Amino acid sequence: MRLDHIGIAVKNLDEAVKFYRDVLGLELVKLEEVPEEKVRTAMFRAGEVFIELLQGTDPESAISKFIEKRGEGIHHIAIHVDDVDAKTEELRSKGVALTYDKPRVVAHGERKINFIHPKSAFGVLLEILTRVERK
C-alpha cells in the first residue's frame, strides 16, 4: 500500500486549477469528468503523490453535499492497494464500514475504488483504489 492522492473539494475547478498550476507550479496530469461520481476532477503531480481537485457536477453529488455542509477543503486521502476487491473483503471481515458493497470502476475504467467510512477511520474518509493505468 502507498499514499496515492489527497482529494480536495472545490467550488470552482477552473479557478482552483489556475492556483495549483500557475501559482504553485504543480504539473497538471489530467483534467476529466467522472460521471459515475458526478464530479469534474483535476489531478496534479506533487512528487510521488497526487493532489486531486474535485468539483461536483450535480447538487446531489457527494462533493457538492460535502461543500454545502463543510465548505471547501480536504475531502479524502487515497491509498493505492494491489487488489481493491480483496482489500474490501478483508476490511469488511474486520468490521470496517465501507461506502460501497463492492468496489466501483470509475474514470473510464482507469480506477477501481471503494471508501472507508469516516466512522471507521477516526473521522477521515479514506479511499482505497487500484489504478488500472497510471498516467
Q: Where are the domains of the chain?
A: 2-131
Give per-residue pLDDT as tens, 91-121. 999 999 999 999 999 888 889 999 999 999 9
Supply 24's cell numbers: 504553485
pTM metric for this prediction: 0.90
Element (H, E) at 18: helix 13-18
Q: Angle 17-23-26 (CA atoms, 0-180°, nearest 5)?
A: 65
At 79, list the grid cell.
491509498
32-89: pLDDT as tens digits: 999 988 999 999 999 999 999 999 999 999 999 999 999 999 999 999 999 999 999 9
Q: Which fold has domain 2-131?
A: 2,3-Dihydroxybiphenyl 1,2-Dioxygenase; domain 1 (3.10.180)
> Distance (Å, rounded) from C-alpha 125 to C-alpha 76?
5
Task: Specify burial of residue 75 (Cβ count, 10 A radius: 0-12, 13-18, 19+).
Answer: buried
Q: How many CB atoms lie within 10 A of CB 123?
A: 7
The residues near 43 (Cβ < 8 Å, ≥ 6 apart) are 5, 28, 29, 30, 31, 50, 51, 52, 53, 135
